[in-house]
Amino acid sequence: MENRPSVWSSNRFWRRSATWVTGVASVLLVFLTFDSMGQMKMGTAADIKNKVDKRIPSPLVINYKIDYKLNKTRGHEIPIIGGMDANGYSKYEEKEKFFGKDNWSEKEAKALIHKGKLTIQAKNCMDCHTLLGNGAYYAPDLTKAWLDPTWETLASAYGGKEYAIAKFLENPPAMAMHERKMPNLGITKEEAKAVVAYLKFMSAIDTNGFPRNFGKIKGAVDARK
């Protein structure tokens, strides 16, 4: 109960510390943001041509086959665009038809992605689904929806999985797969195509291995039984 003043209980010390800490943390965040923004710029046609990996690839990836494979060096799964080389990285070679063609120009692809993103926002997709894991938890995650095995099984009946997904989006209740069905959001044919393009593009974003083991494991225990 002595009355000697201590720095620890002095307002001045804490006020100065708070000011310093806030300032330096903000400055660090600004520097980190500049670095991240540089790395997160959307890729270009030249990047694809030169086989440069980008975290967010060029919209032109819709012309290519996309996969999601474990990379030993990275230690997690990464998107594989246009086939995988011996080291487990993208080759940017194997093409895949998307709505009938695999030579979408950069301009066309960009326009498609633009409309797709606008539609995703205009229909409030994020308030049922998660995209890159963020959103609501009422419907499945869409990060790698393009690669989901469900669509592989439906692909042949519709002449390709892009057609199957587009058909579903135009009138989801008609193709409902679950009691918790998606409502009809008045998505037009053009919008559906654009959304599918966005899903394909999004599946090629490098998410540092999220979701882990996508589609690889089948459960052995079913707690419902």
Partner 1 sequence: MIEPCHDVVCSFWSLLNEGPMTLTIILHTLIVLPMVWIYFDEKKKMERGDIPNE
Partner 2 sequence: MQGNRLYEGQKLALKYFMVAIVLFGAQLLFGLVAAIQFLYPNFLFNILDFSIARILHINALVVWLLYAMIGAVYWLLPDEAGIEVVGVKLGNLAFYILTAAVAVVVLVYLFIQIGPGKESTIWFITEGREYIEAPRWADIGIVAVVLVFLYNVYATVMKGKHTGILVVLMADLIALAGLYLAGMFYTDNIAVDQYWWWWVVHLWVEATWEVYVAAVGGYILIKTLNANRKVVEMWLWIEVAMMFGSGILGLGHHYFWIGTPEYWWEIGALFSALEPVPLVGLFVHVLYDWGKERGKGNNIKNTPAFAWLTVETFGNFLGAGVWGFMHTLPQINLYTHGTQWPAAHGHLAFFGAYVAILIGAIYLAIQGKAGLKEMRMTKASWWAITLITVGVLIMSVSLTISAYVQTMVERGQYGGTWEGYFIAQANQWFVQGMGWRLFSGLAVVVGYGFLVYDLLTIDKKQPAEVREGAVAAA
Per CB under 8 A, contacts with partner 2 among 114-173 are: 114-128, 130-138, 140-141, 143-145, 148-150
Question: Count residues contacting partner 2 (CB under 8 A)?
Answer: 93
Joined tokens for residue 225 = 């039984």
* Three-state secondary structure string covering 16-80: HHHHHHHHHHHHHHHHHHHHHHHHCCECCHHHHHCCCCCCECCHHHHHECEEEEEECCCCEEEEE
Under DSSP, is residue 163 helix (H, G, I), strand (E, B) or coil?
helix
Is 174 one of the binding residues for partner 2 (CB under 8 A)?
no
The residue (of 7 and 86) whose beta carbon lies closer to partner 1 is: 7
Give 116-132 as a DSSP string: HHHHHHHTTGGGTSEET
5 binds, among partner 2, partner 1, none (CB under 5 to 8 A by kind): partner 1
Is 105 one of the binding residues for partner 2 (CB under 8 A)?
no
Task: Quote the CA–CA distance of 166 and 121 in Å, as a whole number.
Answer: 17
How many other C-beta atoms are found inside a 10 Å radius of the C-beta of residue 184?
A: 12
The residue (of 166 and 187) whose beta carbon lies closer to partner 2 is: 187
Q: First CA to last CA across the chain, in angstroms? A: 66
The residue (of 90 and 143) whose beta carbon lies closer to partner 1 is: 90
Is 183 one of the binding residues for partner 2 (CB under 8 A)?
yes
Vertex 194 angle, CA 192 and 200, to 5°: 105
Task: Quote the CA–CA distance of 143 and 123 in Å, as a whole number.
Answer: 17
The residue (of 132 and 155) whose beta carbon lies closer to partner 2 is: 132
For partner 2, the binding residues in 17-36 under the rule CB under 8 A are: 17-18, 21-22, 25-26, 28-29, 32-33, 35-36
Residues of this chain that interact with partner 1 (CB under 8 A) are: 5, 7, 10-13, 16-17, 20-21, 24-25, 28, 32, 35, 38-39, 53-55, 73-75, 206
73 binds, among partner 2, partner 1, none (CB under 5 to 8 A by kind): partner 1
118 binds, among partner 2, partner 1, none (CB under 5 to 8 A by kind): partner 2
